């Protein structure tokens, strides 16, 4: 008589030190990024570079980079992305307070909530862009470019409508970045093609989300 034993699946070992080696650097990067955003707004105002300190794209890349440190571990990456976004908001408004500016509580709440929604998405995307399967990998690289496309479209719309903004050149540069990221991060032609499709679709979602944030500020902040 024989007995069959089913081998248990090996479980991934917890990282040394728990989650802090991942979440700690994400928080620090967020705090520094938020402070640099605030410090850069005055000298860059009126130039095309202002897009880098007054748009969602750079902050989304901080969350993406935080997630990229833990490839394949999308849950941890999602938390890291949220941590980075919370750090960005904290760093920005702490710098504003130190500089003597009044900090509106409603604005802080709106941006924290926005970061807690967007941060996990971009953190998980960062962890997935080297995924062995095509769809998660291409979706991740597409998401990376979507926010740049959306910010570029917004900048072009503002420039065309005479409402200011960073200008036409900055808008086209952001659009170019949105196209370039899927091309650079994709590992194959299929990755890049599907990534561009995802990027275009996700950019529409980002534009809708930005409109929702603007509406919230108009009515609540």
What is the reported pLDDT for 166?
Answer: 86
Domain borders along the chain are 20-219
Report how far residue 129's alpha carbon sits from residue 142's, in angstroms, rounded to the nearest whole number. Answer: 9
pLDDT digits (tens, 9 = 90+) for 188-212: 999 999 999 999 999 999 999 988 9
Report how far residue 209's alpha carbon sits from residue 205's, in angstroms, rounded to the nearest whole number. Answer: 6
pLDDT digits (tens, 9 = 90+) for 105-138: 999 999 999 999 999 999 999 999 999 999 999 9
Q: Is the pLDDT of residue 91 over 90?
A: yes
User: What radius of gyration do the chain's Cα atoms show?
Assistant: 19
Residue 109: exposure state from Cβ atoms within 10 A (0-12, 13-18, ≥19):
middle
pLDDT digits (tens, 9 = 90+) for 26-81: 999 999 999 999 999 999 998 999 999 999 999 999 999 999 999 989 999 999 99
What is the reported pLDDT for 20?
Answer: 83
Long-range contacts of 95-102 (CB under 8 A, 24+ apart): 95/34, 95/35, 95/38, 95/39, 96/38, 99/38
Secondary-structure percent of the chain, ordered helix, strand, coil, rounded to 5:
75, 0, 25
Q: Is the pLDDT of residue 5 over 60?
A: no
Q: Is the pLDDT of residue 170 over 60?
A: yes
Largest CA distance in the chain: 85
DSSP classification of residue 133? S
Torsion of CA 131, 30, 28, 64, to 10 degrees: 10
What is the reported pLDDT for 1?
Answer: 42
What is the reported pLDDT for 218?
Answer: 79
Summarize the confidence of residues 163-179 as an average pLDDT. 91
Nearest to 79 by CA among 109, 133, 119: 119
Binning pLDDT at 50, 70 and 90, where does residue 221 land?
low
Report how far residue 40's alpha carbon sits from residue 49's, in angstroms, rounded to the nearest whole number. Answer: 9
Report how far residue 67's alpha carbon sits from residue 215's, in angstroms, rounded to the nearest whole number. Answer: 29
């Amino acid at each position: 008589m024989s007995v069959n034993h089913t081998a248990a699946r090996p479980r991934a070992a917890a990282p040394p030190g728990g989650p802090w080696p991942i979440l700690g650097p994400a928080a620090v990067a967020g705090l520094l990024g938020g402070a640099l955003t605030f410090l850069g707004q005055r000298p860059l105002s009126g130039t095309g570079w202002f897009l880098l300190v007054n748009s969602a794209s750079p902050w989304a890349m901080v969350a993406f980079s935080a997630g990229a440190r833990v490839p394949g571990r999308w849950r941890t990456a999602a938390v890291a992305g949220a941590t980075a976004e919370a750090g960005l908001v904290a760093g920005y408004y702490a710098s504003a307070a130190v500089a003597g500016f009044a900090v509106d509580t409603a604005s802080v709440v709106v941006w924290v909530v926005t970061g807690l929604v967007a941060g996990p998405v971009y953190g998980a995307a960062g962890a997935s862009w080297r995924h062995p399967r095509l769809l998660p990998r291409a979706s991740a690289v597409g998401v990376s470019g979507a926010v740049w496309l959306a910010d570029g479209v917004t900048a072009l719309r503002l420039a065309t409508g005479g409402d200011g903004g960073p200008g036409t050149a900055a808008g086209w540069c952001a659009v170019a970045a949105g196209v370039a990221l899927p091309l650079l991060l994709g590992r194959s032609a299929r990755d890049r093609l599907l990534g561009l499709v995802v990027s275009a679709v996700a950019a529409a979602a980002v534009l809708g989300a930005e409109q929702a944030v603007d509406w919230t500020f108009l009515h609540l902040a």
